[in-house]
């Protein structure tokens, strides 16, 4: 099983880098986990936000595996419990899909082209989180998913 995260931007804070490394280590027992960072477009003109999102979408598409099951993280996506996410991932795997890619957009969100490519749109909350924080929350939830699906006690 391959789990990929494509994220616009880099992690800046060391404490987040350390936490992500810990989850990458934990996930190695269950899957191949990789994070691909794409460079965000600098916002030089607020009226050109759609253009910036289009450029970021092109960068995402350049690294996106064509045969991957795509899950975008979007504020208007479906909110799932940890158990529901575990079941969703179990069902994806049971369908014979061996590659799942989660996509986290930049500060301005995702371009519609990327959103429309998604097989599933996931939301963690109606609240807004930094993109760096969401990466950590996502890694933790992916790990929790594997623990739930393995009937291991982490999720309690």
Report if pTM > 0.75.
yes
- % of the chain exceeding 90 in pLDDT: 86
Question: pLDDT grade, residue 87 (50/70/90)?
Answer: very high
The answer to whether residue 156 scores a pLDDT higher than 70 is no
**Which of 91, 88, 59, 73 is closest to 127 using CA atoms?**
73
pLDDT at 11: 94
Task: Name all domains of the chain by residue range, CATH numbers in brackets.
Answer: 2-155 (3.40.1280.10)
pLDDT at 155: 63
Q: Which residue did the predictor score with more confidence, 37 or 107?
A: 37
- Beta-bridge partner residues of 106: 109
Q: Measure the CA–CA gap between 40 and 111, rounded to whole angstroms.
A: 13
Mean pLDDT of 47-53: 92
User: Residue 130 in 3-state DSSP?
Assistant: coil
pLDDT at 44: 87
């Amino acid at each position: 099983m391959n789990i990929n995260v494509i994220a616009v931007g880099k992690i800046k804070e060391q404490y987040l880098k350390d936490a992500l490394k810990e989850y990458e280590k934990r996930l190695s027992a269950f899957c191949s986990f990789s994070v691909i960072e794409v460079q965000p477009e600098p916002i030089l003109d607020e009226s050109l936000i759609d253009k910036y999102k289009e450029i970021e979408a092109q960068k995402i598409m350049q690294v996106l595996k064509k045969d991957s099951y795509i899950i975008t993280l979007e504020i208007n996506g479906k909110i799932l419990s940890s158990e529901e996410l575990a079941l969703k991932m179990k069902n994806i795997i049971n369908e014979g899909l061996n590659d799942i890619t989660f996509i986290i957009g930049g500060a301005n969100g995702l371009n519609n082209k990327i959103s429309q490519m998604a097989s599933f749109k996931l939301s963690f909350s109606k609240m807004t989180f930094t993109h760096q924080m969401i990466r950590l929350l996502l890694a933790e939830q992916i790990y929790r998913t594997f623990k739930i699906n393995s009937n291991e006690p982490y999720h309690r």
